[in-house]
């Protein structure tokens, strides 16, 4: 089940980025819900919120390390059944893979969800964020600590 989740999110991330780069030019913005939500194509050469611009090798290395650690954790998790812990790691892993693919292919990450009050982001970023929230929830509120 975890593999299916990873592949589905990775596919959705790459598909949405493919469509966006085919339909929009750089910095072009299209209103989906006027004055609230737009699709705006940007090339993010930084990390979250655009910090650490143009640190290509740092981002590649950190993504590979994160992917390795998460993959190891999923493979060696004592609980092989579906759990919030496994689900959160699958979300983070799929997001890391999606953005890593962009960095290797283009040298930057394709971002396009634009709420104008928050930095522009993509499906992979969303997966990482939701996965991190679920992981924090699991760590803080799980009665049995099985890591």
User: How far apart (Å, rounded) are the C-alpha atoms in residues 97 and 125?
Assistant: 11
What are the beta bridge partners of residue 39?
30, 113
pLDDT digits (tens, 9 = 90+) for 58-101: 888 988 999 999 999 988 876 667 889 999 999 999 999 999 99
Over range 7-15, report the average pLDDT.
Answer: 98
Given the DSSP bridges, would you call strands 29-33 and 37-44 parallel, antiparallel or unpaired?
antiparallel
Q: Check if the beta carbon of residue 59 is closer than 8 Å to that of residue 50.
A: no
User: How far apart (Å, rounded) are the C-alpha atoms in residues 94 and 105?
Assistant: 17
List the domain range (segments joined by +) for residue 100.
2-141
State what percent of residues in the chain have pLDDT above 70: 90
Q: In this structure, is residue 146 part of a structural domain?
A: no
Q: In this structure, is residue 147 part of a structural domain?
A: no
pLDDT at 48 over 70: no
Q: In this structure, is residue 96 part of a structural domain?
A: yes
- Confidence tier at 123 by pLDDT (50, 70, 90): very high
pLDDT digits (tens, 9 = 90+) for 52-61: 666 778 888 9
Q: In this structure, is residue 76 part of a structural domain?
A: yes
Q: In this structure, is residue 120 part of a structural domain?
A: yes
Q: In this structure, is residue 58 part of a structural domain?
A: yes
Q: How many domains does the chain have?
A: 1
User: How far apart (Å, rounded) are the C-alpha atoms in residues 108 and 54?
Assistant: 8
Catalytic residues: 111, 125
Res 59: pLDDT: 84
């Amino acid at each position: 089940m975890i593999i299916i989740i990873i592949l589905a999110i990775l596919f959705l991330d790459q598909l949405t980025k493919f469509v966006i780069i085919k339909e929009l030019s750089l910095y072009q913005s299209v209103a989906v819900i006027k004055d609230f939500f737009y699709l705006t194509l940007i090339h993010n050469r930084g990390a979250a919120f655009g910090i650490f611009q143009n640190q290509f090798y740092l981002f590649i290395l950190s993504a590979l390390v994160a992917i390795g650690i998460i993959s190891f954790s999923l493979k060696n998790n004592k609980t092989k059944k579906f759990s919030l812990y496994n689900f959160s790691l699958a979300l983070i892993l799929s997001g890391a893979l999606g953005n890593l693919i962009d960095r290797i292919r283009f040298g930057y990450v394709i971002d396009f969800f634009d709420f104008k009050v928050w930095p522009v982001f993509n499906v992979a970023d969303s997966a990482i964020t939701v996965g991190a929230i679920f992981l924090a929830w699991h760590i803080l509120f799980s009665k049995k600590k099985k890591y």
